[in-house]
Structure 1
Amino acid sequence: MILDIYKDSFEYSAQDWKTLVILGVMAVLSFLLLPVFLVTGYNYRVINTAVHGIINGKDPLPDFDDLVGMFVDGIKVVIVQFAYVLVPIIVFLIFAAIASYLGDVASVAAMIIGSLITFILVIICCLMVQMGLCHMAYNDGAFSKAFAVKELMKVIDDIGWVECIATYLGLIIITLVIAIVVTTLIGLIFSIFGFSGLMLGADTSGVFLLGTFINWLVSMFLVGPYLSIFNSRSLGLLYSMQIE
């Protein structure tokens, strides 16, 4: 089932390169802050489509319309993410504060225990964030549903903790592999051209600069947006498993 989710999401994310470019433009303009919420709002729409769909259901990519609504959804997404991330941060700070009042050995022990607990909480909270956003989308955007912990725990129980964690970790690995492979290949190609020119006595500084620029363009306008849609679609489909 997990592989079916990945397969569907790979195909779904590649439906329209224009959508990827638009998301890339928004990402480039993220320093203005407003586009950040539009990007997160669009990814929320992808999740919304997925939680109401099925694997290999041939769902279309969401349209770029109702920008105000997309912006509001984006703000809600960021708030949910921030709220859950605060939990492991607060726990770690508590252990750090306790460690500061202890002796050397006890202080180290407290930090080790605190770091371990924080790490476990990070995994759980990251999963809760994603399931919370999916649960919110499934319940017509009801903001409170993103924090309905008991309902979210039941959703994860119904899907299976192993399946949820495995899918989430798999997405992290796939994202890293694709990003690394693409940037490495582009860098390798231009490096070959550059060093070949150097061996012929040519000035190839422009080649290396061009390679860096092309790498940035591909990452920002194609790979990055593609992976963000891929992840959102995958998590939405994972959530839909407990509905079937």
Structure 2
Amino acid sequence: MILDIYKDSLEYSAQDWKTLVILGLMAVLSIFLLPGFLISGYNYRVIGTAVHGIINGKDPLPEFNDLVSMFVDGIKVVIVQIAYVLVPIIVFLIFVLIASNLSGILSVVTMIIGSVITFILIIICCLMVQMGLCHMAYNDGAFSKAFAVKELMKVIDDVGWVECIATYLGLIIITLVIAIVVTTLIGLIFSIFGFSGLLLGADTSGVFLLGTFINWLVSMFLVGPYLSIFNARSLGLLYTMQIE
């Protein structure tokens, strides 16, 4: 089932290169902050399509339109992410504060316990963020559903903790592999041209600069957006496993 999710999402994300370019442009403009919310909003739409669809359901990519609604959704997504991320941070800081008032072995033990608990909370909160966004999308954007802890825990229980964690880790690995392979291949191609030119006595500094620019261009406008859609689609489909 997990492999089916990956296969569907990899194919789904490659449907329309124009959408990838638009998302890439938004990523570049995110230095002004506001376009970043549009990216989050669009990925939320991808999740919404997934949670109301099925694996290999041939769903189309969402339209990049109604920017005000997309922007509002993006804000909601960021708020949900920040809220859950704060939980392990606050817990860790509490342990740091306690440890700072202790000495010797007690301080060390306290920090070890705090680190273990924080690590566990990070895993739980990562799952809660993703399932929270899916649950919100499934319930027509009801913001409170992203924080319905009991409902979210039931969703994760129904899908399976092992399946959720395995899928999440798989997404991280696939994302890193695709990003590394693409950038390495482009870098290798231009390096071969560059060093070949050097052997012939030519000035190839421009070749290396061009390679760096092409790598950035491909990563920003194709690979990055593709992987963000891939992740959003995969997590949305993972959510549907508890509905079936």
TM-score when normalising by structure 1: 0.99
Counterpart in the other structure of 1:226: 226
Give 1:105 shift: 2.4
Distance in 2 (CA, whole Å) between partners of 1:115 and 1:196 is: 51
Counterpart in the other structure of 1:167: 167
Residues 1:137 and 2:137 aligned together = yes
Give 1:110 shift: 1.7
For 2:55, what is the secondary structure of its paired residue?
coil
- 1:75-90 matches, cutoff 5 A: 75-90=75-90
- 2:92 corresponds to which letter in structure 1? F
Distance in 2 (CA, whole Å) between partners of 1:109 and 1:181 is: 42
1:145-170 CA deviation, whole Å, 9 max, x = no partner?
00000000001111111101100110
1:187-206 CA deviation, whole Å, 9 max, x = no partner?
11111111111111111111
- 1:19-38 matches, cutoff 5 A: 19-38=19-38
Counterpart in the other structure of 1:187: 187
- 2:41 corresponds to which letter in structure 1? G
Give 1:101 shift: 1.1
Query: Any runs of at least 4 consecutive aligned residues in structure 1 with deviations exceeding 3 A, and if so which?
Result: none
- 1:52-201 matches, cutoff 5 A: 52-201=52-201
Counterpart in the other structure of 2:213: 213
- 2:17 corresponds to which letter in structure 1? W
Superposition RMSD in Å: 0.7
Give 1:95 shift: 0.8
Aligned residues: 244
Residues 1:44 and 2:32 aligned together = no
Distance in 2 (CA, whole Å) between partners of 1:84 and 1:137 is: 17
Distance in 1 (CA, whole Å) between partners of 2:106 and 2:191 is: 51
- 2:107 corresponds to which letter in structure 1? S
- 1:70 corresponds to which letter in structure 2? M
Distance in 1 (CA, whole Å) between partners of 2:89 and 2:130 is: 18
1:128-148 CA deviation, whole Å, 9 max, x = no partner?
000000000000000000000
For 1:225, what is the secondary structure of its paired residue?
helix
Give 1:108 shift: 2.0
For 1:102, what is the secondary structure of its paired residue?
coil
Distance in 2 (CA, whole Å) between partners of 1:113 and 1:179 is: 35
Gap runs ≥5 in structure 1: none
1:54-108 CA deviation, whole Å, 9 max, x = no partner?
0000000000111000000000000000000000000110111111111132222
Give 1:184 shift: 0.9
Distance in 1 (CA, whole Å) between partners of 2:173 and 2:149 is: 27
- 1:175 corresponds to which letter in structure 2? T
Distance in 2 (CA, whole Å) between partners of 1:187 and 1:223 is: 15
For 1:226, what is the secondary structure of its paired residue?
helix
Give 1:173 shift: 0.7
Identity of aligned residues (%): 89
Counterpart in the other structure of 1:235: 235
TM-score when normalising by structure 2: 0.99
Distance in 2 (CA, whole Å) between partners of 1:111 and 1:197 is: 55
Give 1:117 shift: 1.2
